[in-house]
Structure 1
Amino acid sequence: MDNLSLEVESRQEVGRTAARRLRRTGKVPGIIYGIQDPIPVTVNPKELESIFSQGAGENAVFQLDLAGEEKADRPVLVKELQRDAMNDQIVHADFLEIRMDQQIRISVPLTFEGESVGQKMGGVLSVLLRELEVECLPNAIPEGFSVDISEVDIGDVIHVRDLTLPGEVDLITGLDDPIFTVIVPVEEEEEVPEEVEGEEGEVAEGEAPEGGEAEASADESEKKEE
């Protein structure tokens, strides 16, 4: 845990109105789950973000200190984090109290490094899986799994079985699950405008109307007979 700790306060008021009022003070609501009954708490979101920047991202294991409580040993990790869709700021945090000697199941994000051969040839990277579910001891939780995509060509499909994971991590996600592929971009077909036929009876420029020559000849014949 690298001596990471976060101090929170017990919260008596619950509900949407109380949560909005709390957020106006710069704090956010949270709940501690796990070994004991759920405990509503008040959290400083800036201090929580600081924990993420020092540890294993949002999978960081740290000490949660509840103000006014004598209990000193409460290791936790973030069970669920809610962020504002507009500014990405934390609006609610659920903590899971854990035992350091027991394995836990957790989702670890995947990151993709480099540019694939297929992309250099005009292909498009299609990501099908963005995290892996694993089981391990709390101290062995990875911050993420890095995947080198530089040798992947168009049409190649990389599966979970193609990755090399740390020995202290047990994989839960299926080995045959596809992670990503490089596909040929779909070209949009140009729309060919349909030819607009002229209205019935309309004569193109420079063309004589049907029967025009016969009518002209008849007129000339009449003039000669006069």
Structure 2
Amino acid sequence: MASVKTLTVETRSKGGTGPARATRRSGLIPGILYGTGIDPLMVAIDTKTLKLELQDPYYHTKLYDLKVGSTNHRALMRAVQLNPVTDIPIHVDFLRVDPSSRITVDILLKFVNDDKSPGIKRGGVLNIVYHDLQLSCPVDSIPEQITIDLSGLEVGQSIHLEDIKLPAGVQVVHSNRDYTLATIVAPSGLKSDSSETTDEQNATPTTEESK
């Protein structure tokens, strides 16, 4: 079962721009808690607490127990709005979830063992096509990341969706199992040299008759 972190939030009585600004001036970030057929609840969370959570690259797949008074709500941090100038969070959306249900989430891909890829050792470059995957998984078993092993890959070889192993109960939402996630490509210098060699091989020799 995925680990769950408890966060304490307060309720807000008023929505709108003015009350939201007042909330931020008091050291809190306004937010909303919604989902599972229950009426949305306006909340506010401590600014420092939220900033600390946002430092975790996997915050969007982490389960939280939001403590509102004496009630806990299991939730995911679904969206965070940032100030376009300062990048300071100004609003947060929490999605209330049923622990026994499934949910669709975007999970980060982590590529490992590049030092064991012959293609990369010889100067090849890892060209990542997708940095994450949209997966359907049980709420209590959301993977933090999907690890992709680069061991043994040569220049020109690719990793396809069908090549990766997913945790039990986790399914890919994308229907095309053959689409490419990443490829080991030749460095630009090698491509240029190869192209020039091919051109030389295909060139028609100049003879006295052709002059």
Q: TM-score, normalised by structure 1?
A: 0.70
1:126 maps to 127
Deviation, 1:92, is 2.4
State the AA in 2 paired with 1:63.
D
**Deviant stretches of 4+, over 4 Å:** 49-54, 83-89
2:81 maps to 82
Q: Does the residue aligned with 1:38 lie in a helix, a strand or coil?
A: strand
Rounded Cα–Cα distance in structure 1 between residues aligned with 2:26 and 2:124: 49
Rounded Cα–Cα distance in structure 1 between residues aligned with 2:129 and 2:75: 30
2:13 maps to 12
C-alpha offsets along residues 144-177 of structure 1, whole Å, 9 cap, x if unaligned?
Answer: 1111213222111111110011112122134122
Cα 1:181–1:24 change in 2 (3 A) is farther
2:203 maps to none
Bigger Rg, which one = 1
Q: Does the residue aligned with 1:37 lie in a helix, a strand or coil?
A: strand
Q: Which has the higher strand share?
A: 2
1:171 maps to 172
**Percent of paired sites with the same residue:** 30
Q: Does the residue aligned with 2:188 lie in a helix, a strand or coil?
A: coil
Cα 1:176–1:81 change in 2 (3 A) is farther
State whether structure 2 residue 189 is matched by structure 1 residue 153.
no
Deviation, 1:99, is 0.8
Rounded Cα–Cα distance in structure 1 between residues aligned with 2:72 and 2:19: 29
Alignment gaps of 5+ in structure 2: 193-211
Q: TM-score, normalised by structure 2?
A: 0.74
Q: Does the residue aligned with 1:74 lie in a helix, a strand or coil?
A: strand
Larger mean CA deviation between 147-156 and 7-16 belongs to: 7-16
Deviation, 1:16, is 4.2
RMSD: 2.9
State whether structure 2 residue 110 is matched by structure 1 residue 100.
no
Does structure 2 conserve the Cα–Cα contact (< 8 Å) formed by 1:118 and 1:153?
A: yes
Alignment gaps of 5+ in structure 1: 190-226
Rounded Cα–Cα distance in structure 2 between residues aligned with 1:87 and 1:121: 42
Deviation, 1:95, is 0.6
1:201 maps to none
